[in-house]
Amino acid sequence: MAHASHHHDIAPPKDLKIPKLFFMIALGLLIFGAVVFAAALFIAPVRAWQGYLIGFWFTLSLGLAGPFLIATQYLSKAGWGISIRRIPEAMGAYLFAAIPLSIAALLGAPKLFKWLKPEAVNDAIIAQKFDFLNFTGLALVSIAAPIAFALVHFLMRRNSLAQDVDGKASHSRQNILLSALFVIVFVLGFSFMTWYWIMSLDAHWFSTMFQVYAFAGMFQSGLALVAIVLLVLLAHGYFGGTVGVQHVHDIGKLVFAFTVFYAYIAFCQFMLIWYANIPEEVVWYTHRLEDGWQWVTLALPFVKFIIPFLVLLPMDHKKNKNNILWYICWLLLAVQLFEVWYWVTPYPHFDGHHGPSLPIYELPIALGFVGLFMLVTGRALQAHKLVPIKDPLLHESIPHSHSHHGSSQADLEAQANNVVRES
Amino acid sequence: MKHSELTGRSHIVEGEGPFGGPLAKREPLVSDHRTWAQVNDDVASHTETMPTKLWWAAFIPSLLLMLMFFTSLGIIIMTGMGTVGISHPVGWGVFIVNFVFWIGIGHAGTLISAILFLFRQHWRTAINRSAEAMTIFAVMTAGIFPLLHTGRPWFAYWLFPLPNGRGPLWVNFTSPLLWDVFAVSTYGTISVVFWYVGLVPDLASLRDRAKHPLRRTIYGLLSLGWTGGNRSWRHYEAAYLMLAGLATPLVLSVHTIVSFDFAVSVIPGWHTTIFPPYFVAGAIFSGFAMVLTLTIIMRHTFNLKSYITINHLESMAKVVLLTSGVVGVAYLTEFFIAYYSAVEPEQFHFANRMLGPYWWAAMIMYGCNMGIPQLLWFKAIRRSIPALFVISLFVNLGMWFERYVIVTTSLHRDFLPSSWGMYNFKVMDWLLTIGSFGMFMTLFLLFARVLPTICMFEVKAVMDPAGASRKVAKEVARG
């Protein structure tokens, strides 16, 4: 495939300059979240820490989705996604921020977990789990896992950036190995983090599917974020000729696929527990089918699966016709936050109230994390070239405007205009 | 070894990239500078010549095993279920183990043809035809077992929700066993249609090459009047994409529902929420192992080494490694959650699995599925054909034992110790299990004789036009 000769006329990507307003908003959210958190620590400390956990988990998930997507690309030797790789790379930059945040979360652990209360020794079931459910174990995982995530991501990112300068193919080969390492670290770290921070909120309950369930939501929303950033950058023409509508379509297809995957996992977990109806297993769902939580439980299949599935079914919608992909991805991001809230808050063990309450503390605190996420990833995105211009497989990612995709350029501009109007 | 020219790495050309960086050229999918014309000759000739001695050497034992299989089925139908070893408390034995094993084998075909097609993985073109054939034969083999297990297979039609004269007697719609009937029959149907649609253009090639009028008539009928014109291809492409889309959820659904057979129960070792994705991964794992086993044999006996190259085998090895990892994570999660659950029967089950009377079966399962495939981390092993062949056999063995462990160890220790027992294979269990391989192999060998084992037109589409046209080849030969 002699592509090289066609490439001299490709418009290079531009240097990204994110408007100051973006960082102002991010900083505003961060300060707002921090202030609400500080106030809530005195007014409703449990809810403050629940808000912290929601924000932390939501942003950690987005941060992990980036390098995970990159790792799958390297391991499958995929060429199509090279020119948009800097977006998930930037998302991974948040993993550095996640280290101190994860350690700080340990301060709130006694407020969040029944098994850390002194009276837990009287609970016959929890008492059997102390080999796992203890502060040392929690601290070990909460420190080691984010460090491991960030470290492997750092090494991969360093190779990717070095390749921009020296154009050595050996960086790609190293990143294939690092990708395998990342997947191992991710599976281990994410499983243990999920078991400690989310599943053990109800220390009696267990499900072998739970870390897969948490992963499904994580990757679905992570892909949605990639799509959103891609659409914004594309609309402003930052990619030059290196990204085309095919990339939007491909990411759209992945969003669609992992929407189905999420539904598959969530349904199987629910169905098996409902069908067998074993008391110690159904508690997780029975808590969420009473006191007003049933409406949330009923809403989730619609907002996380039925609506995005039906809407994204036509090909044009996955290509963001009429900005449909854009709206659906915002929906998916929002409902991921919603679902983490649904995982964390229905625990009546501490302050006595049962039903869902307006997240007046939780939402601002979570938005504080979103602000920090925006700051970190925004800076990471504009700090380096927007496209890994010397990746050996880049040529497979560049759209061929003069080939049989004759309309792609026109499509692209039409979509670009649409998004500009939005943002 | 012709594959020495393939390295499994892209060829890097410095400074040729779009912005002055290096440019990676992938290795060709078809090696040894084959031309388009040679593809037809290489693939179709096996259906046009008399079978080789090697083929007979494989076919005759397979046929004998199949006859043995049918005999044992006859014995069960005539004499009854008591001829096999299943009894209280292990009421699910050889039938379910073999059913799940063969259904699992049938998963690689659809994965390769549907999901890898949607993922634009062009290396699938060399192996999709034989993998799809495997799927169909595996599903056929699998289907026999639950039918026999009903005890009265002549009432098999009772499995369908037909209006009937038996009073208000309907199938149990809340039973996953019934869902299985729907899932497997849908899967079988779609697999056959998908496979056949993909065969049509190649059947037309066989028709056009046929010398004997009878042969021409048969392949002519089968190729449905394929002209190779623009309209035919347009319709074909649309149909194929649609079928790929339809087949994709089936890759997940079939083994998911097979896993429900176990997971909706309240039996320790069966009731666990991770079963659906774990079974699907296991099915792809065992399916790819079987594809590896068979394609390694096939490329040797039919001399298809230029098409099923070492790079193809390495790609399959990677899928095996990946799915081994997924299955391994599920295994470990089961153990962890059994501890974490603090539920005594769960903990007992997993301790009993490792230390009880069937510890040896668990060792084979974990060793072959989680241990041995780790060798595939090394590129040298992924590119060593003897090593791959041996590993794929171990995976087949391990995955058969996975089902054996799940079925047997869960049942042989009931909640009440008074209901404990053992399950031992009798002669009939062995005959059924070994015989089913005979049926599968016989069908596969027949397929390899009468139909093109490689999708010729798709392989041509992934060849480099600069090297594959006969004109260019002649010019090269002339110098």
CA dihedral A179, A181, A184, A186 (to 10 degrees): -60
Beta-bridged to residue B25, according to DSSP, are B11
3-state secondary structure labels for all residues of B378-400: CHHHHCCHHHHHHHHHHHHHHHH
For chain B, the helix, strand and coil percentages under 3-state DSSP, each to the nearest 5: 75, 0, 25
Tokens of B314: 């390495």
Q: Quote the CA–CA distance of A225 and A222 in Å, as a whole number.
A: 5
Q: Quote the CA–CA distance of A276 and A288 in Å, as a whole number.
A: 18
User: Is the pLDDT score of B71 beyond 60?
Assistant: yes
H-run or E-run covering A232: helix A210-235
Q: Taking a contact as any Cβ pair under 8 Å apart, which residues of chain A between 143 and 182 contact chain B? A: 163, 167-169, 172, 180
A278 touches chain B (CB under 8 A): yes
CB of A390 within 8 A of CB of A167? yes
Tokens of A12: 């290079």
In a domain, A186, yes or no: yes
Which one of B276, B336, B464 has the shortest CB-CB distance to A268?
B276
* ipTM of predicted assembly, 2 dp: 0.92
A163:B12 CB<8 A: no
Residues of A within 8 A of B120 (CB-CB) are 80
Q: How many independent structural domains does chain A possess?
A: 1
Q: Quote the CA–CA distance of B320 and B372 in Å, as a whole number.
A: 11
Owning domain of residue A51 = 11-422
Q: Quote the CA–CA distance of B305 and B323 in Å, as a whole number.
A: 26
In a domain, A418, yes or no: yes
A187:B464 CB<8 A: no
Model-level pTM? 0.92
Beta-bridged to residue B12, according to DSSP, are B24
Chain A residue closest to B332 (CA)?
A: A208
Q: Quote the CA–CA distance of A172 and A175 in Å, as a whole number.
A: 5
Q: Taking a contact as any Cβ pair under 8 Å apart, which residues of chain B between 257 and 296 contact chain A? A: 260, 263-266, 271-277
A208:B330 CB<8 A: yes
> What is the per-residue pLDDT for B477?
62
> What is the per-residue pLDDT for A406?
40
pLDDT tens sequence across B383-403: 999 999 999 999 999 999 999
Of residues A43, A37, A41, A96, the one with CA closest to residue A66? A96
Provide the H-helix boundaries in B88-175. 94-105, 107-110, 116-118, 128-149
Of residues B324, B355, B407, the one with CA closest to residue B363? B355
pLDDT tens sequence across B445-463: 999 999 999 988 888 888 8
Of the residues A73, A171, A200, A206, the best mutation for testing chain B's interface (the one with the most B CB atoms within 10 Å of its CB) is A206
Of residues B465, B372, B389, B449, the one with CA closest to residue B133? B449
Amino acid at B10: S
CA dihedral B358, B362, B365, B369 (to 10 degrees): 180
Chain A residue closest to B28 (CA)?
A: A1
Q: Quote the CA–CA distance of A112 and A199 in Å, as a whole number.
A: 12
In a domain, A173, yes or no: yes
Q: What is the pLDDT along chain A (423 residues), one digit of tens a residue?
A: 344 444 557 888 988 999 999 999 999 999 999 999 999 999 989 999 999 999 999 999 999 999 999 999 999 999 899 999 999 999 999 999 999 999 999 999 999 998 999 888 898 999 999 999 999 999 999 999 999 999 999 999 999 999 999 988 999 999 999 999 999 999 999 999 999 999 999 999 999 999 999 999 999 999 999 999 999 999 999 998 899 999 999 999 999 999 999 999 999 999 999 999 999 899 899 888 888 889 999 999 999 999 999 999 999 999 999 999 999 999 999 999 999 999 998 875 555 557 888 899 999 999 999 999 999 999 999 999 999 999 999 999 998 754 444 444 444 555 555 554 444
H-run or E-run covering B468: helix B465-468
Place of tokens 């056949």: B196
In the three-class reduction of DSSP (H, G, I as helix; E, B as strand; rest coil), residue B12 is classed as strand
B341:A206 CB<8 A: yes
pLDDT tens sequence across B350-387: 999 999 999 999 999 999 999 999 999 999 999 999 99
Number of helices (H) and strands (E) in chain A: give both, helices first.
Answer: 17, 0
Q: Quote the CA–CA distance of A334 and A328 in Å, as a whole number.
A: 10
CB of A115 within 8 A of CB of A126? yes
Residues of A within 8 A of B23 (CB-CB) are 3-4, 392, 395
Of residues A332, A302, A327, A305, the one with CA closest to residue A317? A327
In the three-class reduction of DSSP (H, G, I as helix; E, B as strand; rest coil), residue A422 is classed as helix
Q: Which residues of A114-129 are buried (b: 16+ CB within 10 A; e: fewer)?
A: bbbeeebeeeeebebb
User: Cis peptide before A348, with omega less than 30 degrees from 0?
Assistant: no
In a domain, A232, yes or no: yes
In a domain, A4, yes or no: no
CB of A255 within 8 A of CB of A327? no
Tokens of B113: 């043809």
In a domain, A155, yes or no: yes
In a domain, A318, yes or no: yes
Which one of A132, A242, A275 has the shortest CB-CB distance to B340?
A132
CB of A330 within 8 A of CB of A228? yes
Q: Quote the CA–CA distance of A270 and A247 in Å, as a whole number.
A: 34
B329:A168 CB<8 A: no
Distances (CA, A) of B208 to B213, B219, B341, B450: 11, 9, 65, 15
In a domain, A2, yes or no: no
Place of tokens 């034995």: B93
